[in-house]
Structure 1
Amino acid sequence: MTEPHPFTETYLEGPQGTKFLTRTYAPESPLAVLVFVHGFVDHVRRYTSFHGSLAKNGLAIFAYDQRGFGRTALDEKGKARKEPWNRGYAKTSWKEQLEDIEWAVRRAHETFPDLPLFLAGHSMGGGLAIAFNTRGASTPPSAAAVSLISGVIGMSPLLRQTHPASSIQKWIGAKLSRVMPYMVIPAPVNLDHLSHNPAVVKSTGSDPLAPYVGSLRGLSDMLDGGELLVTRDYKNWPADRPLVIFHGTADQVTDPKASQEFIDRVPTKDKKLVLYEGSYHEVWHDTIPEGIAEQMINDVTEWVKERASARAKTPDAKL
Structure 2
Amino acid sequence: MASSFSEAWREGFDGHAFYTRTYEAATMKAVLVFVHGFGDHIGRYEDIHPRFAQRGITVFAYDMRGFGRTALDPEHRSPDEYYGKTSRPLELSDLEWWVRHAKRTYPDTPIFIMGYSAGAGLTLAFPTRQHPPPTPETVSMLSGVISQGPLVHLTYQPARVSRYLLHGIAKIIPSLPFPAPMPAERFSRDPKVVEALKNDTLRMDRGTARGLDNMLTQGYQLLDEGYKYWPKELPLLMTWGSADEARGVAFFNKLDIKDKKLIVYDVGISMYARVPVLQLNDIQDILHDLLHEAGDIPDRVLEEYFVWIEAHLGSR
User: Same fold by TM-score, threshold 0.5 exceeded?
Assistant: yes
1:170-249 matches, within 5 Å, as 170-249=163-242
Q: Deviation string for 1:131-189 (max 9, x for gaps)?
A: 000002x1211121111111100000100112110222112211110011010122111
Partner of 1:117: 111
Q: CA deviation at 1:232?
A: 1.7
2:34–2:113: 8 Å Cα contact kept in structure 1? Answer: yes
Give me the whole-angstrom Cα distance separating, in 1, the residues matched to 2:312 and 2:97.
23
Residue pair 1:160, 1:223 contacting (<8 A) in 2 also: yes
Paired residues, number: 298
Query: Is 1:282 matched up with 2:275?
Result: no
Residues 202-246 of structure 1: per-residue CA shift (max 9 Å, x gap): 111111111111000000000110222122211110011100101
TM-score where L is the length of structure 2: 0.91
Correspondence 1:163 to 2:156: yes
Matched, 1:304 2:309: yes
Give the whole-Å Cα distance in 2 for the aligned partners of 1:167 and 1:81: 41
State how 1:64-103 maps to structure 2 within 5 Å: 64-75=62-73, 83-103=77-97
> Per-residue deviation at 1:84?
4.8
Partner of 1:267: 256
CA contact (8 A) 2:10 2:18 kept: yes
Contact residue 33 and residue 117 of structure 1 kept, 8 A? yes
Q: CA deviation at 1:82?
A: 7.2
* Match in the other structure for 1:251: 244
What stretches of structure 1 move > 2 A for 4+ residues in a row? 80-87
- 1:140 aligned counterpart, secondary structure: coil
Separation of aligned partners in 2, 1:58 and 1:86: 38
Distance 1:156 1:84, change over 3 A: closer
In 2, the alpha carbon distance for the partners of 1:82 and 1:286 equals 32
Match of 1:126 among 100, 120, 145: 120
Question: Any idea what SS the aligned residue of 2:47 has?
Answer: helix
- Residue of structure 1 in register with 2:272 after alignment: none
- Over the matched positions of the two proteins, sequence identity in percent amounts to 38
Unmatched tracts of structure 2, length 5 or more:
267-284
Report the Cα distance in structure 1 between the residues aligned to 2:77 and 2:242, rounded to whole angstroms: 42
Contact 2:70 2:77 in 1 (8 A): no
Instruction: Give the secondary-structure state (helix, strand or coil) at the position aligned to 1:230.
Output: helix
**Does the Cα contact within 8 Å between 2:16 and 2:78 map onto a contact in 1?**
no
SS in 1 for 2:121: helix
**SS of match in other structure, 2:128:** coil
> 2:81 is paired with a residue of what secondary structure?
coil
Aligned AA (1:156): G
Secondary structure (helix, strand or coil) at the match of 2:312 reads helix
SS in 1 for 2:7: strand
- Gapped runs of 5+ residues in structure 1? 312-316
